[in-house]
Structure formats: structure tokens, C-alpha cells
Amino acid sequence: MELSLTSALTLLSIPILLLLVSLYPLLVFITPHSRGALPSELHYYTVKEGSSAADVDAAAQKASKDKLGTLKDDASVQLSVIIPAYNEEERLPVMLTETVEYLEKLRTAKQSLAGVGPAGATSKGKSNGAASTSLSLDQALREPLTSYEIVIVDDGSKDKTIAVALSLAHKLNLTRGSARELRVVKLEQNRGKGGAVRHGILHARGALILFADADGATRFSDLSPLCAELDRVRTPTGHGAVVGSRAHLVGSEAVVKRSFIRNFLMHSFHLFLSLLLRPPSPSRLLRQWQRSRASTKAQPLAQPEIRDTQCGFKLFTRATSLHIFPLSHIDRWIFDVELLMLAEMASEKTLRSGAGPVQRPTANGTSGKATPKKKSNGVANGTATSAQVDVLLRLPVPIAEVPVHWAEVSGSKIELLKDSIGMALDLLILRANYALGRWASPGVVPI
């Protein structure tokens, strides 16, 4: 009987094994390949101080000679704003004007991005050695805003996006070599939103790096709540990320007015994403049951689920950007998910390495002091030790989620049905390549 059962299992495993072997070449074939930067894409366009309108128009037609730096360089400005743009000559002026108006409001009022004063004796320090900065994270977040750059990454546009961007730089006085500079990088071929964002961030100069959509759907002044949350959750070694979230808008007028098919695809995508990245399993269901039965016991650290992965308003420290962006592969719409996966994988690997959870120094030099419980990613209010206050405060690469004001703007480049299918396929490709080890996972981060 045992022999026949073993034989049956063996026979059953053969077609399964053959199926897996046949699917691997298919995975290799359908996996997209990111191309390297062309020589011309390592330079940028900008406007010189005192340039005339004619000079600006001429500059847009010439090959740029100014070379970009890299993410490995020291930070030289407090904030980099990366804006991917494909045929955005109409929407870019509104978004860019709003962006500069808000940043200038902070600068002229001598206010900080995080809305707090400089750190004193309890400073959280500078970025880690891998992304050491001459301009520290404390300075970027807590000192008055004095320097920033805006990087428009033109993703192979067919319209006058570059000319419009340079004209705005001239109008808003965002000139070459100043503490407030606008740069335009031209990609010779369209890569996709993810590829444009990656290229911009890999050449950013900021201690803080934000990428924002060119449509201006997210209110830019919501940058300050993101910076305040990043200041709260960032690690002593300078790691952390904060993502803008529209999850609170579900059921609101902004979402209800969207078409049925758009809302259906949105909810289907989030369900598929949840099942794929956090699939239900007996062990996971058991852990959830145990947590509900013994909520007071210490639980394994895990990144809280991000409810809105696709909002185009995300903020990273320079250290975290350097740790995850060079490893990313997806150039299309689903690139946000890969970035969040990489950050979460870095936290998990660091914790598994035995480095332990992040220890937060307190005023008396100890850790674990009872503090008021803050609300973040669904954590309720109350009082507890630091281990219970907020799991984000103990993760090596915390990812916080902050509600933002958002309104749909016409002119979207997304083709609903086609891109929804493409996003689902990219999710499968993403999960399979990391699960099979075809794509490198991030290393351990210092804590």
C-alpha cells in the first residue's frame, strides 16, 4: 500500500516538475529588461542666470554639456523633486508652479520641511556610510529650507515638454548653479514611468528625494506631513520612506465620480496585489489567529501593509534610495510595488541577520521608555513601551503611509484595460523573479 502511494505521488510530481521546468524559459522570455543610460542621458539641460527668452529657446534645441552626478555622491541640496514627464507640455506648468510656490513659501518664511527646529543633543544623526552626506538628514528635515532642485525627466516626449520646462525655469528663476535649480534630463527613448523615475533618482543631489507625478493630482503642500512623518520614523542611520496615500478617499466624491470600469479595475488590482504579495497560507492564518488570542505578547516585526501602493507621491531618504533603486527592474506602472517590496525585503533580511530591531535612543540614554502611542498605519492610540508604540520605529527600513489630498486630473496616459492587464502580468513577473532568485535582493542595512 505504501509502495503504491509513493509511486502515485512520484507519477503526480513528474508533470508538475515538467510544467515548472517549461515555465522557467517562459519567465526569462517575458521578463522585461531595463536598458542602461545612453551617454546623452547622463547630461542635463538648465537655464543660466541672466538668460533671455531667446537663449532659453535655443538651449532646448542644443545638446546639453552639463553632466549629472550620481546617487553615490554626497548630498548637496536638502530636497530633490523628481518629476517623470511624457508629453506633459499642458499639465506641467500648473504642477510646477504650485511646487515652486510652496517651496518658496517655506524658504522665504525660513521654515523647515518637517515643521520642527534643528535637532539638539538627541539628533538622529546622518546617513550611513554607504550614502554618507555632507548635508545631513537632520539639516534637510529640520533646518530652514534653503536649497532644492527640481529634476524633470523627459521620457521621450513628442511635444514641447523640454522647452516648456526650461521656459518655466527662466520665469521662476530656477537657474544653473543656484540653490534653487531646475534641471531637465532627456531620455532618447520612452522607458516608462518607472524607468524615468529611477533615472532621475539615481542622479539626484538631495538628502531627501521625492518623486511626484507631473499631473499635479496630489496637493504639493502635503509634502510637509510626509516630511514630518519621515522625521518621526527614520532610523538613526538615515533609512526610511513615506508614501502618500489615497486609501482614505475610497467612497469619497473624488472616487465615486470615476467610471465603474475604473473603480472595478482599481479594486481588482488591489485584491490581486494583496493575494500575490501576501498570499493566505495555513502558517499565516495561524499567526493571525495567535495574535488575536494573545495580543499582549511580543509579535514578530513586520512592515504594516501599504494600502495605496500607486499614489505618485513618495519620499525617500538618500540612504534608502541608494539601497533599493539600483536594484529595481520594472520600468512600467507597477514599479512602485517593486520599490516597496525591496524596502520590505531589506528590513526582513536585516532582522534575520541577527542585527535585531532598531533601538531608539531616548533623552535619558536608554531605549524602550514608555511613550504616548502615536497613530501610524492603523496603530491605535494609547500608552506602551517603544516596542509597542509603533512597529515602524523598530524596522531597519520603515515605510510609513500618510493621507494626501488628491483630485483626478484629465489627460492620464493610462489605457485602462491594456495597462491593467500589463500591471497584472508585471506583478507575476516581479514575484516570480524574486522568488526564484533571478533578481538580486537588497543586502543588510546598518542599524
Superfamily of domain 39-249+314-356+379-435: Spore Coat Polysaccharide Biosynthesis Protein SpsA; Chain A (3.90.550.10)
Assign 257 a pLDDT band (cuts: 50, 70, 90): low
Quick one: CA dihedral 287, 290, 295, 297, positive or negative?
negative
In this prediction, residue 256 has a pLDDT band, given cuts at 50, 70 and 90, of very low
Beta bridge partners of 80: 149, 209
Phi/psi at 75 (5° precision): -65, 135
Measured between its terminal Cα atoms, the distance across the chain in Å is 56
**pLDDT band at residue 120 using 50, 70 and 90 as cut-offs:** very low
- What percentage of the chain reaches a pLDDT higher than 70? 74
Q: What is the pTM of this model?
A: 0.83
How buried is residue 262: exposed, middle or buried, by Cβ count under 10 Å (0-12/13-18/19+)? middle
Can you give the pLDDT at residue 296? 47
Mean of pLDDT values over 404-422: 80
Model pLDDT for residues 155-180, shown as the tens digit of each residue: 999 999 999 999 999 999 999 999 99
Residue type, 182: L
Burial (CB count <10 Å: 0-12, 13-18, 19+), residue 438: middle
Residue 147 has pLDDT above 50, yes or no: yes
Residue 238: pLDDT above 90? yes
* Confidence bin at 98 (pLDDT 50/70/90): very high
Binning pLDDT at 50, 70 and 90, where does residue 382 land?
Answer: very low
Instruction: Give the domain ranges of the chain.
Output: 39-249+314-356+379-435
pLDDT at 249: 72
| C-alpha–C-alpha distance, residues 268 and 246, integer Å | 16
Residue with cell 518658496: 104
Beta bridge mates, 155: 187
75-84 pLDDT tens trace: 999 999 999 9
Residue with the bigger pLDDT between 398 and 117: it is 398
